Structure 1
Amino acid sequence: MTRWALGVITSRNYEIGWRSSVSNIQNRDTVNDSDNVSQMNVPGVRVFIALNLIGATGLFIVMMTALFSVSVKRLSTWYSFCTSWIISCVSYSLLTFARQQSTQAPDFALCFIQTALIYSVPPLTSCTTLSLVVQILLNFSASLADVPSTTGINTFATLLIGPYIIFVIIFIGVCVYGAQNPITVVKAERGTYCHSTDGSWQKVSFGFVIAVSLVIVVIQAYLARRLYQNRKIMEWKSTTIAMTLRGLLFSLIGLITVMAAMAFIITSSHNLNFDIILAMLPVLAFVVFGTQNDLLMVWFRSCLLAG
């Protein structure tokens, strides 16, 4: 009888303890990597957020201008490219939008979502960049052959939908892992965004980015070679050559991504400088693709009409 009573008491205590731990996880606040706000570099974090907001705003304006202007024509993968970088900028700025950027323990649900996003958006942006470069290559080859550019439905669907399927798969994977291991979801001590203390997701995300970026560099080298070999033929095809050159220019920036991604994989910890380098990429995308003559002419005419 005594043993039975002790067994019941032990079972009850275990059940109460288990329920208490689950309740604590569900209601817990996100912790900082070191629980030390003083380590946050406020000016650096502001630069990081400002770059993301500038990139998102600039690309949104460029995309809307191209979408609603009759005189501006862009590839479908170009719109996907811009959209993915806007998603990236918004993902890294979630704490700012929620007014919790300087909070030591932001809302756990918010931190949970941001953690899943910051590991799934780098593969997304690298894949949409690859899709854009591939479509530029296809159009370039068609232009050289002086035939209309046609993309098969399967190829078209892969270029447009493929990057977002990869994004969703990684996002769900991080969410499942984070739900099972909520203690790994923390706000980085440098104060930029929430992430996982498990370095595996960082390696998966940026390992994927490195692989895709290397493919982009190979295609870029091939395009540059073809462009040089056919420079006399392409002189009069200004639209095609302009888009090709700008695609090559932004692809060169992909080398920065490769180096940054390798640094992310080699070391499990990094400082604010790496985050700022990554935040510069959408701004550079805006500068490269937002300064084309047809877009500038649309804005110039709009300014004249407004004046």
Structure 2
Amino acid sequence: MPLIPNIFAADLPRDEVQYVRTMTILGNTMYIVSFIALAAILGTKWLNKSIKRTITWDLFIASWLLHCITFFLSMGHQVGSSAPSLGLCFVQAAMLYATPVYNACVSLALLLHLHFTIVATVRGISRSSSKKMRILVWILMILPVIVYLAVLLMTFILIAQDRSLLQRDQTFYFCNIKGQVGYAISPLITAFHSYPLPRILTSSILVFLCSVVFIFYEIYTVIILWKNSQTFRAMNPHSRDRVFRSIVFRIGVFTVFPIIALFLSLILSFSATDSWTPSSGMRINVVDASLTLACAIIFGSQGDLLRVWMFWRESSPYRSTQHSQTHSSGPDHARTGGRSRIALDPVVPRVGVKVSTTQIQDTGDGYGWVTKAHVESDIELHLDTVEDTKLEAL
């Protein structure tokens, strides 16, 4: 799977051949870097138990890994006479239309999971409500996969019925179905250039509906967080409120990128309708590749992930820390945790330490809290034993 594409075989001016070659290398590089970064993010979360994320977050990152894999299939067969095999082209063309729908559905599932967790935290969760939440999570996990497989199957059937629809894109960057000008960043653009109707319905309209629902719930979630900010700070001013705000903010920022990409792709697509060239098509492809890189940067720059990667930096044992312990109990596996803020005085040999503990109960999904209680106690520590004391941050 070489990064450098084959020699361009079409009858094009030399400067355009070089431009397409350069843009192909740029697009491939962005996909490879994005794949490595996203795999590192997901692997770090799986291997480090201190990083708490929901299962829908895992699926979100994995969906963009799948997006990268879709374009890996044609690497080594781009901009050249070495065309990919029929089977490889067949699979890539189907994934090309199914993967954007899957990305949209998983993104919506992540936001809905976060939204309902925040709502449950504000209202408090009973045992029956906790069971409903787990059922909801399973639905959010399964539905995107069903939609992906449905679009994939429909595209397979479409190509199997008429293999003449299968072709290499005019940029030679990937395989697609005849009837569209280049590959648009979003299936919304594909609808303007693509046929037949089933592909428009399964790809474009589904992504559009997901986008509308996504924007609605994102605004609604921000309003709930803003109205209940004091409640979250009272539960834990240093942890969960920050996690909620951080994830909502990052999802919001990431939402801006597809909108910008959609706008740019529309300009590039319609400006190239009358005088389309491989160069103009490759600009759209590079815009698409930038989405995966943006995802890796936005969701890989969270503080807990960065602290794991910065293994050479150790926190001082003398500063104020947070300590938490969790355990499973009961049939619903609810977790009980405590947070202690310990202030140490490094001047005197023996210090009095006042420990203020906040006990909480969550639903086990990595976010929601239900109850809280404050416990204060005084203890004594010798300074010569402080260095041997390991305090874990939440």
TM-score in same-fold range (> 0.5): yes
Aligned to 1:55: 34
CA separation of 1:102/1:225 partners in 2, compared to 1, >3 Å: closer, same or farther? same
Deviation string 1:136-161 (CA, Å, 9 cap, x unpaired) is 10122123335589453432222111
> 4+ residue stretches of structure 1 with deviation over 4 A?
146-149, 257-270
Which has the larger helix fraction? 1
Normalised to the residue count of structure 1, the TM-score between the two structures is 0.78
Q: Report the residue type matching 2:10 in the other structure.
A: N
- Of 79-88 and 242-251, deviating more is 242-251
CA separation of 1:146/1:240 partners in 2, compared to 1, >3 Å: closer, same or farther? farther
Q: Does 1:203 align with 2:200?
A: yes
Aligned to 1:186: 167
* Counterpart secondary structure, 1:136: helix
* Counterpart secondary structure, 1:203: helix
Counterpart selection for 1:169 from 132, 135, 150: 150
Q: Report the residue type matching 2:141 in the other structure.
A: L
CA separation of 1:162/1:230 partners in 2, compared to 1, >3 Å: closer, same or farther? same
CA separation of 1:193/1:51 partners in 2, compared to 1, >3 Å: closer, same or farther? same
Aligned to 2:341: none
Residues 92-241 of structure 1: pairs in structure 2 closer than 5 A: 92-96=71-75, 99-104=76-81, 105-145=83-123, 147=125, 150=130, 152-198=133-179, 199-200=194-195, 203-204=200-201, 205-235=203-233, 236=237, 237-241=241-245
Aligned to 1:64: 43
Q: Does 1:253 align with 2:257?
A: yes
- CA apart distance, 1:211: 1.7
Aligned to 1:300: 310
CA distance in 1, matches of 2:136, 2:22: 45
CA distance in 2, matches of 1:212, 1:90: 23
Question: Contact 1:53 / 1:90 at 8 angstroms: preserved in 2?
Answer: no
Question: Contact 1:126 / 1:212 at 8 angstroms: preserved in 2?
Answer: yes
Which has the larger strand fraction? 2
Query: Which structure has the greater CA radius of gyration?
Result: 2
Question: Contact 1:81 / 1:132 at 8 angstroms: preserved in 2?
Answer: yes
Q: CA RMSD in A?
A: 2.8
CA separation of 1:175/1:261 partners in 2, compared to 1, >3 Å: closer, same or farther? farther
Question: Contact 1:88 / 1:122 at 8 angstroms: preserved in 2?
Answer: yes
Question: Contact 1:216 / 1:251 at 8 angstroms: preserved in 2?
Answer: no
CA distance in 1, matches of 2:204, 2:269: 7
Aligned to 2:323: none
Question: Contact 1:56 / 1:86 at 8 angstroms: preserved in 2?
Answer: yes
Deviation string 1:266-285 (CA, Å, 9 cap, x unpaired) is 89887222222221111111
- Unmatched 5+ stretches in structure 1: 1-34
- CA apart distance, 1:304: 5.9
* Count of residue pairs the alignment pairs up: 269
CA distance in 2, matches of 1:218, 1:81: 19
Aligned to 2:65: 86
CA distance in 2, matches of 1:255, 1:196: 25
CA separation of 1:106/1:55 partners in 2, compared to 1, >3 Å: closer, same or farther? same
- CA apart distance, 1:264: 9.9
- CA apart distance, 1:107: 1.5
CA distance in 1, matches of 2:248, 2:169: 39
- Unmatched 5+ stretches in structure 2: 1-8, 180-193, 315-394
Question: Contact 1:206 / 1:262 at 8 angstroms: preserved in 2?
Answer: no
CA separation of 1:221/1:121 partners in 2, compared to 1, >3 Å: closer, same or farther? same
- CA apart distance, 1:197: 0.3
Aligned to 1:287: 297
Q: Report the residue type matching 1:229 in the other structure.
A: K
Question: Contact 2:168 / 2:175 at 8 angstroms: preserved in 1?
Answer: yes
Bigger relative contact order, structure 1 or 2, given CA contacts below 8 A and separation 6+?
Answer: 1
Deviation string 1:103-156 (CA, Å, 9 cap, x unpaired) is 333222111111001010000000000000001101221233355894534322
Deviation string 1:181-233 (CA, Å, 9 cap, x unpaired) is 11111111112211000422663423321221121111111122222333343
Aligned to 2:188: none
- CA apart distance, 1:247: 2.3
- Aligned residues with identical type, % of pairs: 20
Question: Contact 1:95 / 1:101 at 8 angstroms: preserved in 2?
Answer: yes
